[in-house]
Amino acid sequence: MRRTLFLLATLLMLGAGCAQRVPETPADDTPNANLSNCEKSGGALDADGYCACPEGYAPDPADFCLDAKGVPGGEMKP
């Protein structure tokens, strides 16, 4: 019984070092805006890190610069 318990404990200790490590999530350089969506629709980041759209366009919740009809401010990329 002791021998079985010892073998089980040894196997558990050896297996503990084999666990996969989760990679760290990189820090977001643009926490106030979705830079990709902003640029695809003709906008750019302002000094505060928010999406600044061309005149007459406003960012929607996903940070695409759209006018009142939903037309993007710049050429949208696929």
Structure tokens at 54: 């061309």
Whether 50 is in a domain gets the answer: yes
Q: How far apart are CA 50 and CA 62, in angstroms?
A: 12
Model-level pTM greater than 0.75?
no
Is 16 contained in some domain? no
Q: What single-letter amino acid sits at 71?
A: V
> Which segments within the chain are labelled E, that is strand?
44-45, 51-52, 58-59, 65-66
Residue 55: which of 40, 69, 67 has the closest Cα?
67
- Residue 69 included in any domain: yes
Cα-flanking dihedrals φ and ψ of residue 75, to 5°? -75, 120
Does residue 47 sit within a domain?
yes
User: 44: domain range?
Assistant: 31-73
Q: Is residue 24 domain-resident?
A: no
Count of structural domains within the chain: 1
pLDDT tens digits for range 8-65:
777 777 666 666 777 887 877 888 999 999 999 999 999 999 999 999 999 999 999 9
